[in-house]
Amino acid sequence: MSDITFQETFKIRASEIDFSQQATLPAICNLLQEVAGNHARELEFDITDLQKDELTWVLHRLHVQMVRFPDWREIITIKTWPSSGDGLRAYRDFLIMDQNGDIIGRSLSYWLIMNIQTRRPARIPKDILEMAPDDTKHVLPIASNRYSDLDQVDYSMDFEVRKTDLDLNQHVNNVRFIEWILSCLPDDATISEIDIQFVAESIMGDTDVAEAKEQPADQNSQTFHHQIRRSSDDKILAKAMSC
């Protein structure tokens, strides 16, 4: 696997921390995407390569599990590698390490290739899937479950999609969805893990609603189920679990 791994080192900036002086979960997710994009460019299958054929990458699912969040000005290294797929989904794994080489976070991402014109998934080229050896191991288990729609919610917040919420694909950036999910939680919620499924696109002018339901848990942890829906038609845009 060593020939397909890629890594980058980052120093946590003031813009990436919260009041605890630690990196936020959205900041970590942004760094994961940065590393993934840079590696894909090196392998010559990043978004700009695909756009030549009117195709693009879209994130289908993201599971991030943090052991701890890095401190302000701490130096971390993120290692990543493509880890095969199933024809319609390509997997990419990440390890987040501190300066001692200790693992402080893990992530497994699931990617689709979308036709820019039809906005529908396209099959992933065989040469991309074959970059990963058959015995590639994932840092987190591959999940096949889909979260159910929430019939009752404990927390809710509305968000109007602005131009600054959009990404290269002209829809709401997936990290913005994560920010919205976290924003509607109670102030005492401490989230170190999220598994989010991106179901549909949201575009500028939409008003989206982030909703959460707290699940029974022990006194040392909180678990939430989430959904984001478009208010105009109740279309589900994303579903997630966090804890």
pLDDT single digits (tens) 67-91: 999 999 999 999 999 998 887 899 9
What is the third-level CATH fold of 155-242? Thiol Ester Dehydrase; Chain A (3.10.129)
Domain map (residue ranges) of the chain:
2-129, 155-242
Does the structure show a pLDDT above 80 at 220?
no
Give dist(CA 180, CA 57) in Å, integer.
22
Query: What is the pairing mode between strands 207-215 and 155-160?
Result: antiparallel
Three-point CA angle 145, 63, 101, nearest 5°: 145
Return the pLDDT at 164. Answer: 96
With a cut of 90, say whether residue 129 has pLDDT above it.
no
In the structure, what pLDDT confidence band is assigned to residue 187 with cuts at 50, 70 and 90? very high
pLDDT of residue 126 exceeding 90: no
Nearest Cα neighbor of 230 from 175, 171, 154 is: 171
Segment 152-181 shows an average pLDDT of 96
Res 1: pLDDT:
44
Four-way CATH pick for 2-129: 3.90.10.10, 3.30.1330.120, 3.10.200.10, 3.10.129.10: 3.10.129.10
Check: CB of residue 83 under 8 Å from CB of residue 133.
no
